Every structure is written in C-alpha cells, then in structure tokens.
Amino acid sequence: MSREPRESEISAVFRAVDSTHAGPEKRRNPRFPFLVPVFVRVLIEEETFNPLRFPGQASNISAGGMLVEIEGLSENDYRMLIRRQRMARIHVQIPEAGDAVFFGKIVWYDYRQTSHGTVCNLGIAFDVLREKEQKLLDGLLARLETDARKSSPPEVKA
C-alpha cells in the first residue's frame, strides 16, 4: 500500500521542476519538463476545412495543459491565431506509452523574434480528455513526478 506524499515532499518536487518561478506556487497542477516533438493543428472556425498545422516542440506538461514552442511561425499565421482563443489538437508520441491526441484551447501566446528567427510559445489548456489520452497522461505525469523526486535535492529540515 502506498502512502500519500507529505506536503514538504510535494513542495520539493515543485521547486525542482519549476525553479525559475519566484514566489509561492500558484498553479493548480505541477508542471514537468517534457521535451518531445509535437504536431499542432489549430482549428480556425472561419476556415473550417483548413486548420493551421505546425510542427513544434513540447516544453512542459501538467494535468491541465502543455506548453508548446513553434519555431518559424509567420507573422500572418500568428495574427490568425490571436484573434480569439483557438481550439487545438496536439499530436504527440509519449515515450514508452504510445500516440496521443490532446484537445485543448490556446489560452496564451508569446511571439518573438530571436537571432534564429521567430518563436511562438503556446499555452494550451486541455479540454476533457478521452479515456485513452487521460490514461496516457496520468501514466506520463506519474513517471515525470517520480523522476523529479529522484533528481530533487533532499529538503533540509530546520
């Protein structure tokens, strides 16, 4: 029988996973690094049969969503994205688990010019997932949390 993790253990995992975030954790779900290629299809209501398709890279994942980075996004495509919150499908190969298609809503964008070209980060909040995808996500998050616990430094008790 497994025991429930103590609050201090969970806090240590949060700090290890998101050490760049200053201040108390305010997110509903812990985020874990998740660096895999993805394929994003953005559904554009005004262009029913022509969704925007982009290869990208996942940066992190949580029970609530995923951060995806798309390089080389044109300014025209970006302008189509930001008109309103868009629905998206994220096609991803989960290591040691299989293919998944996550449905969600793009809730924020960060479009910028870099020395290598344009980069657009998309914050995608998951909608209710199908049973298969929910099981794959739950298994992935459990593995990522275990890995984060193993790599986090032990907490110093005062």
**Number of Cβ atoms within 10 Å of the Cβ of 48:** 8
- Judge whether 23 and 42 are in contact, CB under 8 Å: no
**Number of Cβ atoms within 10 Å of the Cβ of 12:** 18
Count how many domains the chain has: 1
The whole-model pTM stands at: 0.76
**Assigned domain for 23 exists:** yes
**Number of Cβ atoms within 10 Å of the Cβ of 88:** 24
**Assigned domain for 156 exists:** no
More confident residue, 47 or 1: 47
**Assigned domain for 70 exists:** yes
Q: Using one digit for the tens of pLDDT, what is the confidence trace for 47-103?
A: 666 677 899 999 999 999 999 999 998 888 888 777 667 889 999 999 888 999 999
Q: How far apart are CA 54 and CA 40, in angstroms?
A: 5
**Assigned domain for 141 exists:** yes
pLDDT band at residue 17 using 50, 70 and 90 as cut-offs: very low
**Assigned domain for 1 exists:** no
What pLDDT, on the 0 to 100 scale, is given for residue 78? 85
Torsion of CA 11, 12, 18, 21, to 10 degrees: 60
**Assigned domain for 138 exists:** yes
Q: What is the mean pLDDT of residues 103-130?
A: 92
**Assigned domain for 136 exists:** yes
Q: What letter represents residue 75's amino acid?
A: E
**Assigned domain for 51 exists:** yes
- Judge whether 62 and 27 are in contact, CB under 8 Å: yes
What residues make up the domain containing 21? 7-151
Does pLDDT of 16 surpass 80?
Answer: no
CB-facing half-sphere around the CA of 109: CA atoms within 13 A: 22
Return the CATH number at 111: 2.40.10.220
